[in-house]
Structure 1
Amino acid sequence: MFSSRHLLFVLLLAGAGPALAAEVQVAVAANFTAPLQAIAPRFEQATGHKLVASFGATGQFYAQIKHGAPFDVLLAADDSTPARLESEGDAVPGSRFTYAIGSLVLWSADADTLDGSPAALHAGAFTHLAIANPQAAPYGLAAIQVLEKLGLHETLRPKLVEGQSIAKALHFVATGNAELGFVALSQVYRNGQLSSGSAWMVPQALYDPIKQDAVLLKQGANNPAAAALLEYLKGPEAAAIIESFGYKL
């Protein structure tokens, strides 16, 4: 039979587990939506912490963070934005690292539109070409670099339709509002194959490497869930998921 003191001790132990759990608010580049959605439940199961994600354009997140948005971690679509936040005192020095290297792909929802080459771009027999806003989204900037190196930017400029993020660019193509679009490979690729439609895998030589950096923001400096997430992203379980979506590490 328990004494009142023994019972109190047991109750305190029972409550200790949940008390140690924390929540991490993460700003996530839109191209990394599917990978993080796959990572989140595994992270939560492994650590007991809760992950709350917001998806969008890296440039938009920069502006929101500068205006005090309560994010603990930024998973950017570039390496320059996290570095800038660190230099401006909005991120924890030394916490920044590359969690993925992205790839650009020209994609069509129609299985017969693209033949694995840029021939359709040169032919120009389409009405709209979707890209992400190059001012806010690194994948949009990469798309412009490709068009410039192919000598097609001025010719195709009237056909460009911009989404604020790479997710919106994908939406334009998936819904038929644009016949073609430059999107992140991770959005249309899983486990070694294209999920649907047709594509041209853009050679890396045509655009600057898309190094995607993570950084611990000032808001999350003392948040154990934020530290745990960054550590988890460096581990083998997260790496396997990231690579399955076509990213390089």
Structure 2
Amino acid sequence: MKHTFRHASLFLVLAGAALLARAEEISVAVAANFTAPMQKIAADFEKATGHKAQLVSGSTGKFYAQIKSGAPFQLLLAADDETPARLIKEGDGVSGSAFTYAIGKLVLWSPKPGFVDDKGEVLKAGRFEHLSVANPKLAPYGLAAMEALKALNLADALQPKVVLAESISQAQQFVTSGNAELGFIAYSQIHKDGRIIDGSYWLVPARLYGPIRQDAVILAQGKGNAAVEALTAYLKSPAAAAVIRSYGYDR
């Protein structure tokens, strides 16, 4: 019996060693708005599989340019569905690998309680100096913000107050630092551990901007990589879906 037990123990040790030997580190480009939930998902993924996802966050537009210039990313989690489709068409993404991992929501936010009302009337009143918006040419949430302003017939009137940020995370930084009194950011950015952070916000009605479908795509450098395929499968799992929803996304 002891002999059998020792053999079983040895098998488990060897199996664990083999798993660790196969564990890989992969490079993942993550849309700035999805940084916080992806950090949680990546940590859970590493515990479950042994694979480590090295995350780099930024604007989808900049990632596109970097990928076209040969950046060594293996997986892209974009803030839109157009960029992954474009990369596949141009041969930089793996055909058939794109899927929607989250559907984003736009909010107008200020760290000051009571500053932003729940109908967005603060925009019409205009009693502020600066409005932070991610560059619409680089960030899908910035494009959604400009679409909302146009739908409200406020784009021209507020243009002098708009401060453009390189990414949605920088748009939030401008507001947090006081360089802008309020700004358009992702709903997920005002969530922490499943709860809304301090301040005031207006959840912008979805009818005012185009759907923010956030797609992931395996890039050419990640083709055939078992760890990359494992992460894409994990992103589709109920465990990942629960994290994604806790940060204010639809799924």
TM over 0.5, shorter chain? yes
Structure 1 partner of 2:121: 119
Which of 29, 50, 53 is the aligned partner of 1:51?
53
CA distance in 1, matches of 2:220, 2:77: 14
Structure 1 partner of 2:204: 202
- Following superposition, the deviation at residue 161 of structure 1 comes to 0.3
- Following superposition, the deviation at residue 18 of structure 1 comes to 1.9
1:30 aligns with 2:40: no
> Which amino acid letter does the alignment assign opposite residue 146 of structure 1?
A
1:214 aligns with 2:211: no
SS of 2:116 mapped into structure 1:
coil
Structure 1 partner of 2:225: 223
Structure 1 unmatched ranges of 5 or more:
1-5
CA distance in 1, matches of 2:99, 2:14: 39
CA distance in 2, matches of 1:188, 1:13: 42
CA RMSD of aligned residues (A): 1.7
- Following superposition, the deviation at residue 193 of structure 1 comes to 4.4
- Following superposition, the deviation at residue 191 of structure 1 comes to 6.3
CA distance in 1, matches of 2:195, 2:51: 33
Moved more, 69-78 or 191-200: 191-200
- Following superposition, the deviation at residue 63 of structure 1 comes to 0.3
Structure 2 unmatched ranges of 5 or more:
1-6
Structure 1 partner of 2:166: 164
- Following superposition, the deviation at residue 176 of structure 1 comes to 1.1
| TM-score (norm: length of structure 1) | 0.94
- Following superposition, the deviation at residue 194 of structure 1 comes to 2.2
Structure 2 partner of 1:134: 136
Which of 181, 184, 187 is the aligned partner of 2:189?
187
- Following superposition, the deviation at residue 38 of structure 1 comes to 1.1
CA distance in 1, matches of 2:205, 2:52: 38
CA distance in 2, matches of 1:234, 1:154: 41
Structure 2 partner of 1:18: 20
CA distance in 2, matches of 1:14, 1:205: 51
| TM-score (norm: length of structure 2) | 0.93
> Which amino acid letter does the alignment assign opposite residue 75 of structure 1?
L
> Which amino acid letter does the alignment assign opposite residue 186 of structure 2?
A
The 1:41–1:28 alpha-carbon spacing in structure 2 relative to 1, beyond 3 Å, is same
1:72 aligns with 2:74: yes
> Which amino acid letter does the alignment assign opposite residue 39 of structure 1?
I
- Following superposition, the deviation at residue 146 of structure 1 comes to 0.5
CA distance in 2, matches of 1:14, 1:100: 33
- The percent of aligned pairs where both chains have the same amino acid is 57
Task: Please list the CA deviations of residues 162-197 of structure 1 after superposition, one character each: whole Å capped at 9, or x if unmatched.
Answer: 110000000011111100100000000246642110
- Following superposition, the deviation at residue 222 of structure 1 comes to 2.1
Which of 146, 150, 170 is the aligned partner of 1:144?
146
1:234 aligns with 2:236: yes
